[in-house]
């Protein structure tokens, strides 16, 4: 499913984000930046030790990355040139600023891409796995944040959501159908 936004395209597909050939893929990272489970572990395994080495250097400089933030590293052995590591919020019932923090993780990721002059970015569904953010709500927040960012940044030609399972794909397709371009 695709939708034109500004001068770019917002796309939703089911697949393996570690195989994407966009300029950058986004990692749903934890605050330590040192790898973990789920998509974070898969990206570190597929990308190799170069990614972890850069994450260790960043962590040594800044300490833990706050939820809502994003940093960029090499893509290592991935097809993507870069990995943008974004930390989403842990769902605590929705009254702890989780929605704004999730939107910030998407915006900050896109800002890192624009700063590098990248034209294409692939996202997973941030915070909907181990961090338990309700996927239907997260999809609407993510797509709204990306749409708003794309409207003001003509350099982004393709922003793609690469979703691992059919239920997450369906939630994102439904949310995309409800947002205005």
Instruction: Enumerate residues 6+ apart whose C-beta is below 8 A from 128.
Output: 134, 135, 138, 168
Cα R_g (the chain), whole angstroms? 15
Marked catalytic residue, from 40, 136, 148, 165: 40
Helix segments in 63-118, DSSP class H: 98-115
Q: What is the C-alpha to C-alpha distance for residues 179 and 117, in angstroms, rounded to an integer?
A: 26
Look up 40 and say whether it is catalytic: yes
Q: Is the dihedral of CA 76, 116, 149, 7 positive or negative?
A: negative
CB-count exposure of residue 144 (10 Å: 0-12, 13-18, 19+): middle
CB-count exposure of residue 76 (10 Å: 0-12, 13-18, 19+): buried
Q: Which residues are catalytic?
A: 40
């Amino acid at each position: 499913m695709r939708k034109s936004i500004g001068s770019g395209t917002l796309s939703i597909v089911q697949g393996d984000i570690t195989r994407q050939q966009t300029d950058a893929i986004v990692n749903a990272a934890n605050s330590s930046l040192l790898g973990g489970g789920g998509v974070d572990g898969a990206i570190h395994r597929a990308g190799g030790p170069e990614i972890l080495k850069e994450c260790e250097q960043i962590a040594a400089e800044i300490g833990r990355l706050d939820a809502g933030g994003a940093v960029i590293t090499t893509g290592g052995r991935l097809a993507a040139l870069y990995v943008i590591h974004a930390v989403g919020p842990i769902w605590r019932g929705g009254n702890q600023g989780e929605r704004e923090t999730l939107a910030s993780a998407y915006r900050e990721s896109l800002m890192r891409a624009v700063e590098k002059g990248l034209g294409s970015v692939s996202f997973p569904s941030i915070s909907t796995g181990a961090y338990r953010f309700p996927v239907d709500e997260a999809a609407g927040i993510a797509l709204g944040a990306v749409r708003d960012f794309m409207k003001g940044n003509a350099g982004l030609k393709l922003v793609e959501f690469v979703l691992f399972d059919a239920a997450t794909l369906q939630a994102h397709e439904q949310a995309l159908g409800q947002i205005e371009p």
